[in-house]
Amino acid sequence: MPLTDTAIKNTKPGDKPIKLFDGGGLFLLITPAGQRYWRLKYRVLGKEKLLAIGVYPDVGLKDARGKRDAARKLLANGVDPGEARKAQKIAKVERAANSFEAVAREWFARQAPGWASTHASKIIQRLEKDIFPWLGGRPIAEIAAPELLAVLRRIEGRGALDTAHRAHQNCGQIFRYAVATGRAERDPSGDLRGALQPSKHENFASITDPVRVGELLRAIDAFRGTFVVKCALLLAPLLFVRPGELRSAEWAGFDLDRAEWRYFVTKTKTDHVVPLASQAVAILRELHALTGGGRYVFPGRDPKKPMSEAAVNAALRRMGYDTKTEITGHGFRAMARTILHEELEIKPEVIEHQLAHKVADSLGTAYNRTKFIDARIKMMQAWADYLDQLKAGARIIPGKFGQVA
């Protein structure tokens, strides 16, 4: 006789398990402890098997019959429903392991050790905030271009055009990693070229007029913040390295007797040498008395960590400069590049090597940390002398290495 809900509810647990049969191999197993489990008994190649259907009353009588009928259809087609379920579970686990977020985090873990910590932090935060909530759980192989575009346009819609383009770039890197590791067939991000609004790339704010540079240098001299930050401000125009390289500078890389600073440029994956003018050495020797016992030249509040990446820009704002339109920490590089070439008439290739840029030569794009080193040593001292003259308010006549009138 087919089961009824009334019969199920009226059947009390006994000393031994009780089976209430419904037909077609379906039965309800009632344990002495009162649990009620749906089971389906079937045969494959003459061997009897059991398939778990669910727990009553979460799975009601009607739903249990539906699952029984579905399983019997598989049997009619020569498929073992138990093996089919195992395959589904395996596929589900594989889908989770091959989700966009899982692949992205694997890609990030492999790439991050070669990046600057700030760069790595920005990438993972971008993914966690703008990509994972919508694509993270999706199997990466199933994500198509329109789905990715919808997520990127959500970023674009809030006006963050540069972030949208950077997210597009990161997603492309992740998809290509998935292709290389056999988790996807192709990279759909390539189909989105031209689909986003163009990003407005603006140069870092900088001061390149010699008179205004002199005003800035005098303002730095008058800065009343911490000694560590003031030294960073004094050295920023003298060394014109990237802000992240300056703030994370370590004493181990400095040889003040030889007047040089050596470090690894994470952005270009190259070793770099910065010749130190006598003015820079003097500032560093004075600072060494305060921070030389630690790792970092410019330690932060926690001496085990470098100064905040916002410290220099915050100091410039305290001095009254707008870091969006006048000068930013990165702007000292543009200042040096422009004035060294236009006012001091230094050869561009010498300046570019000192900026740790890759310079195209007869052998292709390359960078050599010691190329033009003699010219660079001379240039760095001339640059420091030139800045001293600007700070003093002298009128400078354009010419090689600067000539004071």
Is residue 119 part of the annotated active site? The answer reads no
DSSP H or E stretch at residue 291: helix 278-291
Smallest CA-to-CA distance from 34 within 8, 5, 59, 67 is with: 8
CB count, 10 Å around CB of 386?
22
Q: Looking at this protein, which amino acid is placed at residue 138?
A: R
Which among 263, 321, 367, 386 is annotated as catalytic? 367
CB count, 10 Å around CB of 198?
8
Interior angle at CA 232, CA 266 and CA 240, nearest 5:
55
For residues 2 and 26, what is the distance between their CA atoms, to the nearest angstrom? 10
- Look up residue 139 and give its DSSP letter: B
Is residue 367 part of the annotated active site? The answer reads yes
Which among 333, 353, 376, 391 is annotated as catalytic? 333
Which among 68, 230, 272, 330 is annotated as catalytic? 330
Which among 295, 357, 371, 378 is annotated as catalytic? 357
DSSP H or E stretch at residue 388: helix 373-391
Residue 207 φ then ψ, to 5°: -110, 125
DSSP H or E stretch at residue 51: strand 47-55
Residue at token pair 């990509």: 131
Is residue 333 part of the annotated active site? The answer reads yes
For residues 104 and 147, what is the distance between their CA atoms, to the nearest angstrom? 17
DSSP letter for each residue of 9-37: HHPPP-SS-EEEEEETTEEEEE-TTS-EE
Cα 251 off chain centre by: 27
For residues 230 and 246, what is the distance between their CA atoms, to the nearest angstrom? 13
Interior angle at CA 41, CA 35 and CA 42, nearest 5:
160
Is residue 37 part of the annotated active site? The answer reads no
Which among 242, 247, 376, 391 is annotated as catalytic? 242
Quote helix, strand, coil % in the chain, to nearest 5.
50, 15, 35
For residues 81 and 92, what is the distance between their CA atoms, to the nearest angstrom? 16
Catalytic annotation, residues: 242, 267, 330, 333, 357, 367
